[in-house]
Amino acid sequence: MKKLRYDSGSKWEPVVGYSRAVRVGNHIYVSGTTATNDEGEIVGKGNVYEQAQQVLRNIETGLKNVDASLSDVVRTRIYLTNIEDWKEVGKAHGQVFSEIRPATTIVEVSRLIDPEILVEIEAVAYAL
């Protein structure tokens, strides 16, 4: 079975040893994704809704680079540093997934890799 990998160019991928997205057959796994732009800068500092929108754009890019799309997503996991932010992140998630409706989990974590990162999302997709 062929394995297809997409590396976003993040400085952390070779250090930690991961890829943004990996496709094996019809199964696609998108790593925990944060609100960074192409230069590795955090987008939406202090604004969890803007961060969630950027995260979802980054996930979409990862999926496209392994021949999949957001419509193929069957599962997401959302990690928040403040569970009170669930409505804003849920709004951004719903704007993307309102028709797709993947299984989703939202949990609060004590912190993420950078204190300015408020949300991280990972995804699993299945594409024919």
Q: What is the pLDDT of residue 62?
A: 98
Q: Does residue 78 contact residue 104 with C-beta atoms inside 8 Å?
A: yes
Provide the residue ranges of all domains of the chain, joining segments of one domain with +: 3-126
Residue 11 has a pLDDT of 84
Instruction: Calculate the CA dihedral of residues 95, 97, 103, 107 and round it to 10 degrees.
Output: -30
CA 66 and chain centroid, separation: 14
Per-residue pLDDT of 77-111, as tens digits, reads 999 999 999 999 999 999 999 999 999 999 999 99
pTM: 0.96
Which of 49, 53, 32, 51 has the alpha carbon at shortest distance from 41? 51
Return the percentage of the chain with pLDDT > 70, whole number.
Answer: 100
Contact, 50 vs 44, CB < 8 A? yes
pLDDT at 70 over 90: yes
Report the CATH fold assignment for 3-126.
60s Ribosomal Protein L30; Chain: A; (3.30.1330)
